[in-house]
Amino acid sequence: MKKLINSAETVVTDALRGLAAAHPDLRVDPGGRIVSRACGPTPGKVGLVSGGGSGHEPLHAGFVGYGMLDAACPGEIFTSLVPDQMVTATAAANGGVGVLHVVKNYTGDVLNFELAADLCAEEGVEIARVLVDDDVAVRDSPDTAGRRGTGATVFVEKIAGAAAEGGAPLAEVARVAREVNARSRSFGIALEACTTPVSGRPTFELGETEIELGVGIHGEPGRSRAAMRDARELAAVALDAVNEDMPLSGDVLVMVNGLGGTPLIELHIVFAEIAERLSGRGARVARSLVGDYVTSLDMRGFSVTACLLSEDLARLWDAPVQTPALRWGR
């Protein structure tokens, strides 16, 4: 195993030290595993908080900042956060009018967020929650009851974050977040597994010409193993899986997301195929992202996430944002 680390035990802490050094507009507590805006909560603004296991960077800490999250909690690699982290993060995000918790649908995350919400409520903080469950690959897995939360998390955090920044009340921010999730679907394909620092070996085995269709962001199995094929065919597999579950039409927000080990040149090849195939269905790529946004350490592969846009959702997507991983309009 060749990785740019000091030790397997200090990966998350060391990475947070680096995040703090690179982004002075963030307040980073490496020991407590909390990342929040350096300016503190904005009085009268709904706070947004998310979190989960590390290894998916820039999710979530890379999306803390104006127009997105107020605070995030990174757990150990591929390991859920703990309720105390969420309570502290919620306090860091609380502007006095409630806080929205954005939760990916994994059993540990769901349970720990629920415990944290109860503790926050005891302190008089109003909490709402949106559960992100956009992955169409599997209905249930060993880690979830229902679909897994993946790429749509970025869309939810950006669009709900814009609504909160614009002064919307908690109920409206939560409604917008749930609408984005309901309008979004994802599907991922792995060419090679990732390697965790602690284990030092791939999280699953693929044959020399095998790929995993419908892989999860922790290396969970998908729908099937298949033979490697060209980018056009793989883009079609991913987009067809999304379209079968949610027919794509009109204006669509599309993200072709790298899983950590895929060169950008290859992601753009996939995006070209996705855009062409969508056009053939009468849909239009109205907004797009191409790059690493929800990763799985060094996994080779990609995921496609599509969101059916309305005028209001497009307006909120276009609103200014300033975070380590997303920046425009400001």
The residue annotated as part of the active site, out of 23, 60, 101, 218, is: 218
The residue annotated as part of the active site, out of 23, 56, 60, 101, is: 56
Helix (H, G, I), strand (E, B) or coil at 237: helix
Active site residue 56: yes
Asked if 316 contacts 328 with a C-beta cutoff of 8 angstroms, the reply is no
Name which of 98, 90, 97 is nearest 115 in CA terms.
90
Residue 159, amino acid: I
How many residues in the chain?
A: 330
Asked if 144 contacts 107 with a C-beta cutoff of 8 angstroms, the reply is yes
CA atoms within 13 A on the CB side of 161: 28
Lookup result for tokens 């595993």:
33
Q: Could you please report the per-residue DSSP string of 33-89?
A: TEEEETT---TTS-EEEEEEEESSTTTTGGGBSBTSBSEEEEEEET----HHHHHHH
Name which of 206, 213, 209, 211 is nearest 187 in CA terms.
213
**330: Cβ contacts below 8 Å, ≥ 6 apart:** 66, 67, 320, 321, 322
Asked if 90 contacts 71 with a C-beta cutoff of 8 angstroms, the reply is yes
Q: Kindly list the catalytic residues.
A: 56, 218
